Amino acid sequence: GGEKFAQSVVLNEEVLAKVEECNELAPLHNPANLIGIRVCQELMPGVPMVGVFDTAFHQTMPQKAYLYGLPYEYYEKYKVRRYGFHGTSHSFVSKRLAEFLNLDYNNSRLIVAHLGNGASISAVLDGKCVDTSMGLTPLEGLVMGTRSGDIDPAIMEFIAKKENLDIDGIMDVLNKISGVSSDFRDLEAAYHEGNPRAIAACEVFAYRVAKYIGAYVAAMNGVDAIAFTAGIGENTSFIREKILAYFGYLGITMDKEANMVRGEDKIISTPDSKVTVCIIPTNEELAIARETVALVG
Ligand code: AMP
């Protein structure tokens, strides 16, 4: 949705033209989605359709969070800025977290860790996203199943020269990393067998998540509750434990038994923990259905 869509909209020709204008920002997603929409229009004439944008929830970020340290003209000319992704999930899970804990969504500091094959974190202050780890593209931020996440940009030049790669070759490297496995279940098994590369991958993954959580505590001057969600966040107790081990300074203590649960709304911190930590299963399909009903129901 770029900067054009801060919420879901009923699709019409004007909206579709704007989505097409965003093709450059999402060359793999928008053209394919537009084909799907056109086909549905043909097969189901007159049936209203709604566009739900994975970037929309993040449009509330302040400028200091979305601008990069690049020439400002690149923002003006090309709209190079942080957009963030997984917004449907961050919106759904942050709302559900507040509801589950009886917090006032509009007066709370929440962090959502969406840890799946793609992974991102968001800081939600008083019901509005104020920062998120993915950027212009989903490549930035956490270390993911196949994406590098944050790196020193100069590494690209260094590797390009060593491996004789052009920019497409380098982008392929950063987006299609493979090692022990991109499936966390394999990685977890290899970790417990003592595979050093799997151990390194899990340590790097958890440490990066912890660094981002720390950053978002700073961004919001504190945090009331943290939610883990998506494939890894909902199912992988040992990674949650590893991440939470960094937050003794925040007064977070984990309830080890509760943490063994998977895939249900659950508090996994102890009652005396200063910050409440939860598993909140995401449900992007339900969130999309709700948005749709709200607009056309
Ligand atoms: P997602 O992108 O949210 O579908 O998450 C996919 C990731 O979650 C993959 O890396 C899976 O290996 C991981 N995952 C899914 N189910 C489990 C599970 N039961 N235990 C550990 N990891 C899981």
Residue 29: pLDDT above 90? no
Contact call for residues 286 and 52 (beta carbons, < 8 A): no
Q: Is the overall model pTM greater than 0.85, yes or no?
A: yes
Residues 60-97 have pLDDT tens digits of 999 999 999 999 999 999 999 999 999 999 999 999 99
Give which of 137, 96, 132 is closest to 114, Cα–Cα: 132
Structural Rg of the chain based on CA atoms:
20
Give the number of the atom of ligand 1 that is nearest the alpha carbon of residue 236.
21
Query: Residue with the nearest Cα to atom 8 of ligand 1?
Result: 231
Which residues form ligand 1's pocket by a CB distance below 6 Å?
A: 116-118, 145, 183-185, 188, 230-232, 235-236
Edge-to-edge strands, sheet with 119-125? 128-132, 119-125, 109-115, 225-229, 276-279, 266-267
Look up tokens 């991102």; give the residue: 120
Residues 254-282 have pLDDT tens digits of 999 999 988 899 999 999 999 999 999 99
Residues 105-152 have pLDDT tens digits of 999 999 999 999 999 999 999 999 999 999 999 999 999 999 999 999
Contact call for residues 239 and 187 (beta carbons, < 8 A): no
Residues 180-216 have pLDDT tens digits of 899 999 999 999 999 999 999 999 999 999 999 999 9
pLDDT of residue 26: 84
Give which of 156, 266, 150, 270 is closest to 215, Cα–Cα: 150
Residues 2-26 have pLDDT tens digits of 999 999 999 999 999 999 999 988 8
Ligand 1 pocket test target in 235, 280, 283 with most atoms within 8 Å of CB: 235
Residues 222-250 have pLDDT tens digits of 999 999 999 999 999 999 999 999 999 99
pLDDT of residue 37: 96
Give which of 219, 260, 224, 214 is closest to 240, Cα–Cα: 260
**Lowest-pLDDT choice from 99-108, 147-156, 174-183:** 174-183
> How far is ligand 1, taken at its centre, from the CA of residue 263, in Å?
11
The residue type at 111: I
CB neighbourhood size of 273 (10 A): 18
CB neighbourhood size of 248 (10 A): 9
> How far is ligand 1, taken at its centre, from the CA of residue 70, in Å?
35
Ranges of beta strands (E only) in the chain are 9-10, 50-51, 109-115, 119-125, 128-132, 225-229, 266-267, 276-279
pLDDT of residue 147: 95
Look up tokens 């699709």; give the residue: 11
Query: Of 54, 131, 168, 186, which one is the catalytic site residue?
Result: 54
> How far is ligand 1, taken at its centre, from the CA of residue 279, in Å?
14
pLDDT of residue 28: 82
Query: Residue with the nearest Cα to atom 18 of ligand 1?
Result: 235
Look up tokens 């948005």; give the residue: 291
Contact call for residues 54 and 86 (beta carbons, < 8 A): yes
> How far is ligand 1, taken at its centre, from the CA of residue 88, in Å?
18
pLDDT of residue 184: 94
Give the number of the atom of ligand 1 that is nearest the alpha carbon of residue 115.
3
> How far is ligand 1, taken at its centre, from the CA of residue 147, in Å?
15
- What span, in angstroms and rounded, lies between the C-alpha atoms of 171 and 163? 13
pLDDT of residue 296: 93
- Residue 150 annotated among the catalytic residues of the structure: no
